[in-house]
Amino acid sequence: MERNRWLDFTPLLDVFLILLFVLLINRQISENQLENTYAAEVEALIGQNNQLHIALRQLEEQESSGALNRFDDQVKYQFLKEQAIVIDLEIKTTLNRLWINEEPTSIYLVNNEERRENQKSRIKQELVREFQRQSGKGTLLLVTLDTDEQVYRYAYLIMQEAAQEWVRERPLPASYVLQIR
């Protein structure tokens, strides 16, 4: 009878060993999949790192050439400032306030045909005042016109007309109006 008992446990032992073998194989497959996934992710990160290094080098090259251009522009600007009287006219905000050389004036431009000539003459007076303040700095006159995005077109046109009329009246050998916007 003992012999029969021993035989009864043999199939159970076989099933247990088969399950253990299947479990070990699945574990081996899972580890291989994890290793492959990890290797693929590492390679992708290395590729992204290389692309970022290339982009960084390109940006550094652009920045160094941009710095040279900015330095060149600064030299030109300094030369121009030494040789010319530069008056910057700018209109800011929806109130159309006139600024001359980054300083606000008391002139607010309005859309009124009856006051148009009066507004232009006030702009010319401010230009004369600024010209006299800078007088003797150069033989060239440059008036720049600029606005921000909130300014109305009629205000810019009034400023442009006033500047062009005033520049035509200046006694300097070379007088120019430069429209920045």
- Whether 87 is covered by a domain: the verdict is yes
Return the number of other C-beta atoms located less than 10 Å from residue 89's C-beta.
26
- Whether 116 is covered by a domain: the verdict is yes
Helix (H, G, I), strand (E, B) or coil at 73: helix
Residue type, 176: Y
Beta strand spans in the chain (E): 84-92, 97-100, 103-108, 140-147, 174-179
pLDDT value of position 122: 92
- Whether 12 is covered by a domain: the verdict is no
Q: Which domain holds residue 123?
A: 82-179
- Whether 41 is covered by a domain: the verdict is no
Helix (H, G, I), strand (E, B) or coil at 98: strand
Per-position DSSP letters for 139-173, written without gaps between them: SEEEEEEEE-TT--HHHHHHHHHHHHHHHHH--SS
CATH number assigned to the domain comprising residue 168: 3.30.420
- Whether 162 is covered by a domain: the verdict is yes
CA distance 33 to 127: 78
- Whether 3 is covered by a domain: the verdict is no
- Provide φ and ψ at 135, rounded to 5°: -55, 145
CB-based contacts of 88: which residues, under 8 Å, 6+ apart?
Answer: 99, 100, 101, 102, 143, 144, 146
Each residue's pLDDT tens digit, 54-65: 888 888 777 766
- What are the CA-CA distances from residue 65 to residues 58, 61, 69, 78, 180 (Å)? 11, 6, 6, 20, 24
Q: What is the mean pLDDT of each run of 10 residues along the chain (181 residues)?
A: 58 80 78 80 84 82 67 73 81 86 88 89 90 76 83 88 87 73 64
- Whether 128 is covered by a domain: the verdict is yes
The whole-model pTM stands at: 0.55
- Whether 111 is covered by a domain: the verdict is yes
Our count of domains for the chain comes to 1
